[in-house]
Amino acid sequence: SSVLKCTRPASETLDFMHKTAVAPESLLSSASAVRPTWGSAQPVSSPWTGARECGSLEAVVAVYGAAAPEAAARLPVATAPRTHKEHPFVFFHQRKTGGSTIRTQMVYSAKKHSLSSWVPCSDKVPCESYYAPPHPPFYAVYGGHLYWASVQKALLRQQGIHVGGAATPQMHCFTVFREPVSRVASCWSYRMVEKKRRLGNGLDVKNVSAQQLSSHHTLQVKDLASYSASQLREALATGMSHYGEGCNNEPLRILSDAGTNEERVNRLTAENGASCGAAGWSMDVVGVLDRTLHRASRCVVGVLERCEETAEVLSHFAPWFEMSCGKHLNANPHSSALSEDARREILRQNAAEVAAYKEPRSPPSTLLFNAQLNTTWSSSHVGL
């Protein structure tokens, strides 16, 4: 089936995040009264009220960046373990963000505090589990590569709230972001190369014609640094691991409703055909980013590159969770240095994730993390 696209001029594709964002206060003025309540079962609305066309990414991140202090203030401050089955704790594990180690520590912490847990690859839960169980028994702690929508549906059912509309289940949540280029490179190296997975029929890249590329007769998987520019463009957009997932746009895969449609989420800002020009974007990329940031703003947010501070924030909002930093499980032993062209292509195909993580003027995930860290330090009488 065809996918609607909108077109940006090629010259704008790589530098759009360096443009001046729409003033946050002007965008928030019409939406300031619509704010989600943490853990509420009442309808929740996104603060974004603007257009959904491609050029609005900067405006969306400006809104959520400006709202970060308020979002941090809504998070409950727990002074003792308080996670329970009617108000569970959920770790939304974005791939290649140190989450395997975090999951191990979470299971240990849950057992230490007599909290029941459901975590893939632990206690006989199958590793390839991406949907929260909708039937009893229910648990106090969940964690894994779980789609937000599946968790929402399971918890709404568990809590006796009719599924539908904008109802929001009672839960605490936690997720970790990572710098997008290093995350994509790590994902590709670990899930594609080191596990020796192949794209399509596994044709050797040296013998693949342009016609085969455009027809999705795809490439042999190899290190990202080994691809030519055109091969890398195709590999990132179409590459799938043994588990059927690509490496692009991981936060949007987990937190938005687009995650279960792998082709859609993996190609949100990839080149998708000559009819879209050199920079065809999915028409709904702004809406998908909006939903991702809206949900992330309800969670404790960590940043892999700031692990010690992440552990400090988590200990404040979830003191039962004993997170520590050190050697990560499933870490890549090595990865080849990426060329500047390869970095630019990763940034282009992950433009929405990049905007969420590191948009220069108002990066929502970073500002939200900083606001939560400020709350943590303030409660400990430590000034910034």
pLDDT at residue 93, as a whole number:
97
Provide the pLDDT confidence category of residue 326 given band limits of 50, 70 and 90.
Answer: confident
pLDDT at residue 69, as a whole number:
92
pLDDT at residue 208, as a whole number:
39
Q: What are phi and psi of 90, to 5 degrees?
A: -125, 125
Mean pLDDT of the chain: 76
List the structure tokens of 77. 């401050």
pLDDT tens digits, one per residue of 269-297: 885 433 333 356 777 888 999 999 999 99
More reliable by pLDDT, 18 or 177: 177
Using an 8 Å Cβ cutoff, are 276 and 5 in contact? yes
Provide the pLDDT confidence category of residue 84 given band limits of 50, 70 and 90.
Answer: confident
The alpha carbon torsion through 373, 375, 377, 382 (nearest 10 deg) reads 140
List the structure tokens of 286. 């702004």
Kindly tell me if the per-residue pLDDT of 383 is higher than 50. no
Helix, strand, coil tally for the chain in percent (to 5): 45, 10, 50
Closest CA to 94 of 143, 151, 150: 143
- What gap in Å lies between CA 262 and CA 248, rounded to an integer? 10
Kindly tell me if the per-residue pLDDT of 204 is higher than 70. no
Using an 8 Å Cβ cutoff, are 26 and 366 in contact? no
Q: Looking at residues 147-156, what average pLDDT do you find?
A: 92
pLDDT at residue 55, as a whole number:
53
Using an 8 Å Cβ cutoff, are 221 and 237 in contact? no
Q: Is 268 exposed, middle or buried (0-12, 13-18, 19+ CB in 10 A)?
A: buried
Q: What is the pTM of this model?
A: 0.79
List the structure tokens of 22. 């729409």
Query: CB-based contacts of 357: which residues, under 8 Å, 6+ apart?
Result: 177, 178, 179, 180, 251, 363, 365, 366
